[in-house]
Amino acid sequence: MARLGDCIAMMDEGIGRVSQVIPDMPAAEARLTRLLLMVGHTFDEAVEQALRPNKINHSDFLTLMILYSRPDGSSTPGELCEYTSQGATNMTRIANALVKRGLITRGASEEDRRRVVIRITPSGRRFVQKLLPPLFPRVSAAFAGFSDADKRHFSRLLRKLADNLDHLDESPSPVKKQP
Amino acid sequence: MARLGDCIAMMDEGIGRVSQVIPDMPAAEARLTRLLLMVGHTFDEAVEQALRPNKINHSDFLTLMILYSRPDGSSTPGELCEYTSQGATNMTRIANALVKRGLITRGASEEDRRRVVIRITPSGRRFVQKLLPPLFPRVSAAFAGFSDADKRHFSRLLRKLADNLDHLDESPSPVKKQP
DNA sequence: CTAATTTAATTCACTGGTGAAATATGAGTT
DNA sequence: AACTCATATTTCACCAGTGAATTAAATTAG
């Protein structure tokens, strides 16, 4: 597989050429978008690869981590869908897989019988505690050479992007409401 | 679907709680990793959504864009795999789809008859030229509020991350080779 | 020159994820 | 209470992407 640096160099040149043919393209923003997508995708792959020895995939792991991080260790499919950005369909599959491995339990809710309550098991907690520490060195290595200021800036810029994305579809011309 | 800002808030709290149980976790880096993955994923979705009216998906579009950006408008499946981070299997499917729509042609290479030469067609070029401009406002909007310095910093940090990722698996302890 | 190895692309079987429809419960209205 | 309407989850059919095996051509070794 090509190194990411080579892909980026190639993308830089490509956008340079395209922006000569189509001059009103926002080339700087297009570069940043491609850059973000490429780095994000590679990060994703790296996580998937790090999890593979544990025979768990990223979305199953993320779901389990959310349960682990909850004070009461429980949630519902609907809520997990929201926070994992997964569709309900896929959450059913994820829950099936985690139940089969004994990492979570699935039970009916008392208050609202449409709801299903998902809860991490002791075995699930042990699994997380065993799985996490080996990931730490790679997580740290990914940000090697980042100063504290770099980390703050990066965090700020990503959060700003998130905010922009949240408002992308509302008010294409955000004229202030007339009072 | 939950707003990204809510997912981020929830992630922040979750990592806070987990890092109390597992104190040697690199919490700042874990936060940045999750942030990057979440924003990257949402960007991906936004692109996919913007492309949907044109009945083309992200990887098919990316492949076509690479061809479009080439001076000679041609490449090979192997090369496209490298630069799109797609497997060869999937590139076969992508090429099939684009050929069927008449956006590219597929022919045998003269020099190396194992190779297949893929070339964008005039119709493919028109398709790209028609498709791109409507994307520009959203691309710009995603980076609303980014100063030029912000963009430079963001670019620098992403490229640094890319470089780190390229070296993640080589030399976990980068001791200089003994001469 | 022939045999063994490597490289490029494809095919096949499978995993992961999505949209639309089905099922079941809860909530609001008259 | 009976009738909508909305919500939560699951099922079904399909699209997208991957690893292993296959085919064919080029390269290297003997």
Cβ-defined contacts of B106-111 (< 8 Å, 24+):
B109/B76
Using 50, 70 and 90 to split pLDDT, how confident is the model at B169? Answer: confident
Instruction: Report the pLDDT value the prediction gives residue A172, as an integer from 0 to 100.
Output: 54
Chain C: positions less than 7 Å from a protein CB are 7-13, 15-20, 24-27
In whole angstroms, what is the distance from residue B116 CA to residue B121 CA? 16
Looking at the DSSP bridge assignments, the partners of residue A116 are A108
Question: What confidence score (pLDDT) does residue A169 get?
Answer: 80
Q: Is A50 on the interface with B (CB under 8 A)?
A: no
Tell me what the mean pLDDT of segment A173-179 comes to. 41
Cα separation, B14 vs A137, whole angstroms? 20
Strand, coil or helix: B114: coil
Give mean pLDDT, residues A13-17: 97
Q: Write the pLDDT tens digit of every residue in B1-12.
A: 689 999 999 999
**Confidence bin at A174 (pLDDT 50/70/90):** very low
- Report pLDDT digits (tens) over A64-80: 999 999 999 999 999 99
- Identify the structural domains of chain A with CATH numbers, from first to last: 1-54 (no CATH), 56-133 (1.10.10.10)
Verify if strand C has an atom below 7 Å from the CB of B116. yes
Mean pLDDT of B82-89: 96
Percent of chain B with pLDDT over 90: 91
Mutate to test the interface with B, among A44, A130, A154 (most CBs of B within 10 A): A154
Please report which residue ranges of chain B form alpha helices under DSSP H.
Answer: 4-21, 27-51, 58-69, 77-84, 88-100, 122-131, 136-142, 148-166
CA atoms of A69 and A128, how far apart (whole Å):
10
**pLDDT (tens digit per residue) in B13-32:** 999 999 999 999 999 999 99
Instruction: Please compute the mean of the pLDDT values over residues B168-178 and round it to a whole number.
Output: 54
First to last CA, chain A: 57
pLDDT value of position A2: 81
How does pLDDT run across A101-155, given as a tens digit for each residue? Answer: 999 999 998 889 999 999 999 999 999 999 999 999 999 999 999 999 999 999 9
- B115-130 b/e with 16+ CB inside 10 Å = b? ebbbebbeebbebbee
pLDDT at A176: 41
In chain A, what residues touch B163 (CB-CB under 8 Å)?
A: 4-5
Return the half-sphere exposure (C-beta side, CA atoms, 13 A cut-off) of residue B117: 12
